Copies of this chain bind each other. A is one copy, B any other.
Amino acid sequence: MSRIAFVNGRYKRHSDAVVHIEDRGYQFSDGVYEVILVKNKNFIDEKKHFDRLDYSLTSLDISWPMKKNSMRQIMQELVYKNRFVTGIIYIQITRGVARRDHSFPKGIKPALVMTARRLPKSNDGDIKSGVSVITIKDIRWGRCDIKSVSLLPNVLGKQEARNQGAYEAWQIDNEGFVTEGTSTNAWIVSSHGVLITRGLSNQILSGITRLTLIKIATELNFKFEERQFSVDEAKSSREAFLTSSTSFLTPVTQIDGVVIGNGAVGLLSMRLLQAYHQYINSSEI
């Protein structure tokens, strides 16, 4: 299936979509990205994604390559050109192309790459049966709040999960608390029925689905605490799940081989997921 990408001002066939070898994204991971869910041609939580993109760019002192409105038009065009109504938009912005030198080059334009595609695969199966996660030491850098392409530790963690037949790896800080998954946020429902996810800091990414679910849970009057939780607390929790723009809310039924709750997908998780689906389906541009 041929796909169309947007690369530095031009629409390109996927096979011809290239960047220069001295793009600083390639040599220094000097760039940021976003993945936005497209549902019935609507960009879900678009404003939150743009706000986070702005935060990432500002944190790295990279300027916007174009106005948000222009970017939105390209996103719409990409959905049209790639002939889908439900899928994802991937946006990557790097500091641009410059002769290799660690420090910031002056007077160069940021590079912008955008791709669009149908969702990789349906995760209905994972959602119905739940997934297993392993735990690994969090060895990432100190600014995980920036959604940068400096993702090598995340790649290694995800692969470690795959090697062990798991869906995701939850990363553990030096104090034994769960930070987050390698590409998802981590949640539990305590034995007292309290929904819990870690608070924002430099150690985790402010997930958009995480933000939306907090809002939904509050509206549903769920008991909710934004705080850190240990691996032990997670293993003895009633329910657990992970969230991201592409995995929505995916129940976790095993952590390091320990069965969570009764091993089935939790009721609170399912209620949240239903409410999230309602939210997505009612979203309008």
Instruction: Give me the interface of A with B, judged by CB distance under 8 Å.
Output: 5, 7, 17-30, 33, 60-61, 90, 92, 99-104, 113, 115, 120, 137, 139-143, 148-156, 158-159, 161-162, 182-183
Contacts and interface: CB of A to CB of B under 8 A. Distances in A.
A26 B25 contact: yes
A224 B133 CA distance: 47
Given A25-B26, A29-B152, 13 more contacts: A5-B21, A18-B18, A27-B33, A27-B149, A28-B152, A28-B155, A60-B156, A104-B155, A139-B142, A141-B141, A141-B152, A150-B150, A150-B151
Contact of A18 (B21, B156, B161): B21
A103 B153 contact: no
Contact of A90 (B19, B24, B100): B100
Nearest to A29: B29
B27 A21 contact: no
Given A21-B115, A103-B155, A26 B183 contact: no
Contacts of A7: 21
A149 B5 CA distance: 24
A151 B19 contact: no
B151 A102 contact: yes
Nearest to A140: B141
Contacts of A148: 152
Nearest to A18: B18
A17 B28 CA distance: 17
Contacts of A21: 5, 7, 17-19, 92, 113, 115
A119 to B, nearest CB: 12
A15 to B, nearest CB: 8
A58 B137 CA distance: 20
A29 B155 CA distance: 9
Contacts of A29: 29, 149-152
A26 B149 contact: yes
A27 B92 contact: yes
A104 B162 CA distance: 9
7 contacts: A18-B18, A21-B92, A27-B33, A29-B149, A30-B151, A140-B141, A150-B150
Nearest to A32: B152
A118 to B, nearest CB: 12
Contacts of A102: 151, 154-155, 158-159, 182-183
A23 to B, nearest CB: 7
A27 to B, nearest CB: 6
Nearest to A168: B102
